[in-house]
Structure 1
Amino acid sequence: MGQNLAQLGDQSRLSPDLLPTKSEARTWKVSHFFSIWMGSVHNVPSYVTIGGFFALGISIWQVFFIIMFSSLLLAVMMVLNGHAGSKYGIPFSILLRSSYGKKGALFPGVLRGVIAAIMWFGLQTYAGSLAVMILIGEFWPAYLTLGGEFNLLGLNLPGLLSFLLFWMINVLFIFAGMERLGKLTKIVSPLVFVVFGGMAIWSINLAGGITPILSYSAKGAEGNSLFIFMTCVSAIMATWVAQILSVADVTRFSRSNKEQTIGQISGLIITYLLFAVASITIIVGSEIAFGVPIWNVLDVVERFDSKFSIALSLTTICLSSLSVNIVGNIIPAGFQLTALFPKKLNFKTGALIAAIIGILIMPWKLMENPTSIFTFLNIVGGLLSPVIGVMLTHYYLICKKEINIQELYSFNDNHLSQGTHLPAMLATIIAGLISLTGNFVPLFAPLTSISWFTGIFLAIPLYLAFFYASKLVELKAVKE
């Protein structure tokens, strides 16, 4: 195996970080995959999303069913797109070559691994720094007033110090390696259950028991119930589109496909079950108790009357944010930058550059105008969901789960190693444009409202049609 990897490195001229994972480095077990995505489930944006569902007038049991259906769908998508990573040990940036070609892979790779990942890295780092600032201020109140009127590009001194501190902790994990990341997720796992389970109990007590929460009556959502259901599921899935795409970056470290399959399915469904209970009880319970629903878990923590509970909760939120930031943002960005500049960068230098850019985009400024941020992210999500459709179609229906690794890493003159696979590009662009058309043409607004479904389920037939049409053209050219 080692000799084969060396040969691939020589012929591909790539950084060793992009070569198939060595057998001795494939150490991730079920327990690693069980806990890896907990930070991606339990975070502030996720709770705000559920709050939006209640704002639509959806009932408790409808919200619960939406969450659990989404968790099952998500688990299936993660396992399906993670299969190639666990089987061949290749990262997402190399796997893309199978369906898009070497040059063609740069388009979806840059969208996911650079633009979306770096922006999310900056935003998650800033969100985590807010928890850090509250945590330090709880034990050192004077910290919150340091610097007086000091202001640097919109950040006061406590905000700036908290941001840089949390940023540096993220950077340390870049150099710590995947094994340390695996240990972090194992630490986060029990803390998440304790803290968010505790928040659920706290909210139930606030509401006067579970009965008032279960008796909560929604005003009722207007419109087609099936369409509203698909819209809500699409909203949850859209927040995962990037992780679904690049899941091979973590499944490549799996000891077997069985390990990642059992780990991801059990982990996501059980974690989302806790999330469903916690999010519903926190939002509904706070509305019953205070007359106003609390959608931000940081606001919930600040209402606790125990310093220990506050410290434990904020620490868990920080670790959870750190986990999702490393796995969902910095790892894909590092690998993609390495793929773009294989002779100059390795994973660690690429990830460090991504982290530095994450500061330069000034995410605290971006969060001052949330409308523009989420418009941008929706556009990226609309363009990325067709990539999932193309990748799954190519791997399962075209390749039948068989990939020529030598061809992916070679510099021979074929569409995989050198050029652009036109059917994949056309399917991605057309499906992406249609899924986003509703932003500009009201008639197509329903398609944009369910852009995750629109992008994937348009890309599949489009790719198959373009792929077999190209084969017919090639066959005709050969006969002539």
Structure 2
Amino acid sequence: MSQGQQDNSTQIKSKVSHLKSPDLFPIGIKKRTMTMTGFSILWVSMAVVLAAFAIGGDAIQQLPLHLVILATIAGAVGIGICMTLTGDIGIEHGLSFPVYLRAPFGTIGTHIPSVVRGLVASCWFGVNTFFGATGINAIMIMLFGLDQWFICFLVFAALQLFNTAFGIKAVERFANFAAPIIVLISGWMYMTLSEQAQLAGRDIWGWVETPALGTAAISAFALVAMATMGFWGTLAADMPSLSRFIQAPAYERNWFKRNKGQLIGSLIAMPIVHTFMVIVGAVSYAAVFISNPVDALLETTSNVFLLGILMMMIALGQWSTNTSSNLIPAATIFSNLGGPRIPFWAGVIFAGSIGVLVQPWNLFEIIVPALLIVGGILASIVGILVVDYYLIRKRRVNVPALYEEDGQYHYWHGFNLAGLLSWIAGGTVSLLFPNYSFLIGFFTGGTIYYVSAKYWWFKMYKQDELENPSDDAYLGMTVGRNWKIDNEVPINVKQQSN
């Protein structure tokens, strides 16, 4: 090392604790294998979710298709911005969502909101698996005359759990295969259903079942946007668990350049594909008054070969979505809850079991109201994360202390009351305004947290990064640091590049 050159690698030696599971350690630069293109393709596959059809089917009953599209794009871009903001936690420090959550909620308090997020993700796994299983069952009926959807459901769930247990690279490879085929088959679904609507005398761009007028139209528009934000609210909170695997340049202080690996996926790929899914659901309802195009096409299409391909792609679409946006985040959370005793693969099995036990075939019946409720609750967490990371800590984090039982993030018996009370307040207020739930939850939770943490909680529980706001000591990739835990050999990013 030349004279005056700074060594920003970090090594931490401490005793083993329940906070230290190898799956939850910060991800170093060598383990960040996902490229910008790979993440964008992954988003394409994740965004093909049949539950999104329900948003379109409900929306076109009150709004014309062009307003449905506009509201969906507004909600998708809005939640995409939230994702990129929280995603920098993974890019900068290599931290997962449940680990960073120890900062605004405490080393024990983190389990409460993170488990809620994990349960929501597990339920989504069940819903998507149910839809995928219906596609597989349709193939079995067409080929063999066997109608055994529950067996298809169980087998399909088991296959997904097996795939996810291999880790993030296996998921990325699978998504690369599934994504382009899914997009093509969705285009065919749109054209087929559009023709059905025209044959029924309904112009998809002008037809509305019961048009909303005046303030009712504004409320309907907001409901579509908020349902979309609630749809992806889990990933807005949990994006660090994925973004920490994305390649990022060391020593890059420009936020946009440092996060370019996730920007295209979250702000372009996801809004486009999700909006297209909503459009297909709307067109399906306009065609045969069924928002689920799978059922619609089974009723209106007689080509067995095309239907077989369609059902297979539907199963693949739900598979790729579940592994990336539901099973991986939920498994990471449950692994964090159990400490070193629960490895990642066990978290995957636990998440999948919950998804089966909640009976997702019944859960889907109330999907849109559920999105508004869950969206507000999760939005409060997202608001707290953004405020804690950007406005209070200014992206500086004492990462070693996140893994210490008696460190600065232990707070009062392991709880940060400022975070917990802000989350409860934000989530509760959002329930009073369901049509605007995500925005209400985000700003209420974030605002209350900023005031209570900055002027109350952190006055009592001092934070090293606030008392000594040093970039060199508390930033990660920006200063070329790979955070290391325990006795791992320290790695200097700058030396590796020379």
TM-score of the superposition, structure 1-length normalised?
A: 0.84
CA distance in structure 2 between the partners assigned to 1:472 and 1:343 by the alignment: 30
The alignment status of 1:213 with 2:204, answered yes or no, reads yes
Q: Deviations over 1:336-368 (max 9, x none)?
A: 11111113111111211222333344444x44x
Of residues 273-282 and 177-186 in structure 1, the stretch that sits farther from structure 2 once superposed is 273-282
**3-state secondary structure, aligned to 1:176:** coil
Task: Answer whether contact 2:372 2:435 (CA < 8 A) is retained.
Answer: no
| 2:466 alignment partner in structure 1 | none
Q: Given the alignment, which residue of 321, 332, 339 partners 1:335?
A: 332
Aligned counterparts of 1:10 and 1:208: Cα–Cα separation in 2: 66
Counterparts of 1:93-132 in structure 2 under 5 Å?
93-113=98-118, 115-132=119-136
Distance in 2 (alpha carbons) for counterparts of 1:11 and 1:33: 33
Aligned equivalents of 1:179, 1:9: Cα separation in 2: 31
Shift of 1:273: 4.8
Matches within 5 A, 1:59-458: 59-113=64-118, 115-141=119-145, 143-144=146-147, 158-208=148-198, 212-216=203-207, 219-224=210-215, 225-256=217-248, 257-275=259-277, 277-284=279-286, 286=287, 292-302=288-298, 303-364=300-361, 366-367=362-363, 370-371=365-366, 379-416=373-410, 419-436=414-431, 438=432, 447-458=433-444
- TM-superposition CA deviations, 1:376-421 (whole Å, max 9, x none): 6654443222101100111111111222211212233423577222
Matched residue type, 2:190: A
Deviation at 1:94, TM superposition (A): 0.4
Aligned partner letter, 1:336: I
Letter paired with 1:424: G
Aligned-partner Cα distance in 1 for 2:242–2:461: 39
Q: Which amino acid aligns with 1:193?
A: V
- Residue aligned with 2:387, SS: helix
What is the CA distance between 1:170 and its match in structure 2?
Answer: 0.9
State the alpha-carbon separation in 2 of the partners of residues 275 and 376 from structure 1: 19
Name the count of aligned residue pairs. Answer: 442
The verdict on how the C-alpha distance between 1:84 and 1:475 changes in structure 2, with shifts beyond 3 A counting, is closer
Residue by residue over 1:150-182, the C-alpha shift from the partner in whole angstroms, topping out at 9 and shown as x without a partner, is: xxxxxxxx1232112101111111222211100
Residue of structure 2 equivalent to 1:43: 49
Distance 2:120 2:203 in 1: 41
Confirm or deny: 8 A CA contact 1:5 1:19 kept in the other structure: no
- Give how far 1:11 is off: 6.8
Misfit runs of 4+, over 6 Å: 373-377
Unpaired stretches in structure 1, ≥5 consecutive residues: 145-157, 287-291, 439-446
Judged with a 3 Å threshold, the aligned counterparts in structure 2 of structure 1 residues 41 and 475 are, in CA distance, closer, same or farther, namely: closer
Output the TM-score relative to the length of structure 2. 0.81
Distance in structure 1 (CA, Å) of the matches to 2:208 and 2:436: 26
Which segment drifts farther, 330-339 or 374-383? 374-383
Identity among equivalent pairs (%): 24
**1:333 and 1:354 in contact (8 A); partners too:** yes
Cα gap change, 1:338/1:472 in structure 2, threshold over 3 Å: closer, same or farther?
closer
Q: Secondary structure at the match of 2:54?
A: helix
- C-alpha separation in 2, matches of 1:377 and 1:9: 42
Q: Which amino acid aligns with 1:162?
A: C
Rounded Cα–Cα distance in structure 2 between residues aligned with 1:280 and 1:9? 56
**Structure whose residues are more often helix by fraction:** 1
> Displacement of 1:7 after TM fit?
4.2
The AA in structure 1 aligned to 2:95 is I
Cα RMSD of the aligned pairs, angstroms, is 2.9
| Superposed displacement of residue 474, structure 1 | 4.0
Pairwise CA distance, 1:10: 4.8
Contact 2:231 2:371 in 1 (8 A): no
CA offset at residue 39 of structure 1?
4.5
Is contact 2:219-2:435 (8 Å) kept? no
Structure 1 residues 1-29: Cα deviation after superposition (integer angstroms, max 9, x where no partner): 9x957747857751110001132221111
- In the alignment, structure 1 residue 23 sits paired with structure 2 residue 34: no
Separation in 1, partners of 2:323, 2:377: 23
Letter in 2 for 1:64: I
Q: CA–CA distance in 2 between the matches of 1:51 and 1:218?
A: 11
| DSSP-derived class of the 2:26 partner | coil
Mark the runs of 5 or more structure 2 residues left unpaired by the alignment.
1-6, 249-258, 463-498
Could you tell me how far apart the structure 1 residues matched to 2:14 and 2:23 are? 12
- 1:255 to partner: Cα distance: 0.4
Which piece of structure 1 moves more, 184-193 or 119-128? 119-128
What is the rounded CA distance, in whole Å, between the counterparts of 1:162 and 1:472 in structure 2? Answer: 52
Q: Secondary structure at the match of 1:44?
A: coil
Q: Spell out, residue by residue over 1:61-116, the C-alpha distance to the aligned partner (whole angstroms, 9 max, x if none).
A: 21121112122112211111111112211111101112212112111111101x21
- Tell me the secondary structure at the aligned position of residue 214 of structure 1: coil
CA apart distance, 1:453: 1.4
Superposition deviation, residue 127 in structure 1: 2.4
CA shift in 2, pair 1:5/1:174, >3 Å: farther
Structure-2 separation of matches of 1:24 and 1:198: 41
Alpha carbons of structure 1 residues 216 and 382: separation in structure 2 relative to 1, 3 Å:
closer
Instruction: Check whether the contact 1:100–1:416 (CA below 8 A) recurs between aligned residues.
Output: no
Paired residue for 2:475?
none
- Asked if 1 retains the 8 angstrom alpha-carbon contact of 2:98 and 2:333, the reply is yes
Q: In the superposition, relative to structure 1, how do residues 448 and 266 fare at CA in structure 2: closer, same or farther (>3 Å)?
A: closer
Deviation at 1:33, TM superposition (A): 1.7
Q: Is the 8 A contact 1:431 1:454 kept in 2?
A: yes
Secondary structure of 2:204's counterpart equals helix
Instruction: Provide closer, same or farther for how the CA distance between residues 403 and 416 of structure 1 changes in structure 2, counting only shifts above 3 A.
Output: farther
- Corresponding residue of 1:151: none
Which segment drifts farther, 342-351 or 40-49? 40-49
1:126 deviation in Å? Answer: 2.1
Residue 447 of structure 2 aligns with which residue?
461
